Amino acid sequence: MSIELTKLKIFASKEFLPQNTEHCTLLIPFWGYEKESNDSPDFGRFDGYEKIGNQYFEIVTEPTLAAIFLLPVALEKKGASEKLDTLIPLAKQHKKKVIVFFNSDSDEKLPYDDTCIIFRTSFYQSTRLPYEYALPGWSIDPLKLLKLNELPKRTKNDKPTIGYCGYVDYVGTSDYFKKKLKSVLNNHKIPIWNTIRGSACRVVLNSKKLVGNIVYRNQFYGIKAAKSDRIEYFHNIFNSDYCIVTRGAGNFSYRLYEVLSCGRIPLIINTDAVYPFEEHIKWSDFSVMIDYADLDTLPEVLTEHYNSLNDSTYEEMQKKVRNFYENYISPEGFFKNINLYLKNI
């Protein structure tokens, strides 16, 4: 006998969706979505959530029937803030909260009160508001991209292998990124993102305790990477014990979630970031985290962590990391557990 999940009733109306604008990811199982083109490296990344998301939520168009309201468009989209300004008074009238998604590199302070529950990608632990929570960045599941039926296993060696595939500072920095990220340098006193990556790579390569598995790109690929580049990228992760993860233009990392999806241990160079479900899950169980200011301790920290694992626990760690991705970080897992933040509404 199956037990039906209690669905969260959400008020979502296309009245609050700007014209000719795509709705937010949560609504894909209900309003559909325009999939990326077949040659996109992330083609089909929301297919799993599209199939089962209606098990978690019920979309209602009558405000009195809803437990919570939803801004049906991500806040970074054109016209979204104006729609939110009209939705908030309606929510207050009905004494409801509003779910807001903000998938952006921007770390600006948002001008909203605790009527909103904001899930955003880029912000800072030291300045976050009590109603702001971390939103993962979603890429294609590598098992789907590479047509693998199960997670590739990696055996333990004498020294840990540290992976990184991407763009770093000493390959070159465009004037565009220098200008765009000037505020990061001024306001947070840490190097721009590609310098952080380069610094971490150099620490790895200069250490006799670690094996570097570093593939340099001559430019920033991001979502424009060809499928063959994405395949090489994921193979770099699978062929490593730990993978360097740093912030990008925003104070978050798509790479973090991609490493987790590969069942490999993220080596997170922390820059005051906020992580999904950190209030409920111990991230130290699934990653190694080092503050940027302590980067020189990286070889010792990694060696100690690696040596704490034997052959069996190392194999179990890979499964545990992958399960964490599936159950909490993937689109299906994140939306299944979003109630952890909404249960007291």
Report the pLDDT value the prediction gives residue 221, as an integer from 0 to 100. Answer: 54
User: 152-155 long-range contacts, Cβ below 8 Å, gap at least 24?
Assistant: 152/238, 152/263, 153/315, 153/318, 154/238, 154/239, 154/241, 154/264, 154/314, 154/318, 155/311, 155/314, 155/315
Question: Can you spell out the DSSP letters for 153-198?
Answer: P----SS-EEEEEEE-GGG---HHHHHHTHHHHHHH-S--HHHHHH
Q: Which of 77-91, 193-207, 257-271 has the lowest mean pLDDT?
A: 193-207
- Mean pLDDT is lowest, of 224-238, 245-259, 265-279, for 224-238
pLDDT at 303: 97
Which tens digit of pLDDT belongs to each residue from 266-305? 999 999 999 999 999 999 999 999 999 899 999 999 999 9
- Helices first, then strands: H and E counts in the chain: 13, 11
SS3 311: helix
Q: Is 143 in contact with 151 (CB distance < 8 Å)?
A: yes
Tell me if the domain spanning 142-329 has CATH number 3.40.50. Answer: yes
Residues 6+ apart with CB under 8 A from 119: 99, 100, 101, 102, 132, 133, 134, 135, 338
Domain boundaries, the chain: 8-136+331-342, 142-329
Is pTM beyond 0.75 here? Answer: yes
Residue 126, token pair as written in the block: 């030291």
In tens, the pLDDT along 29-48 reads 999 987 777 777 788 899 99
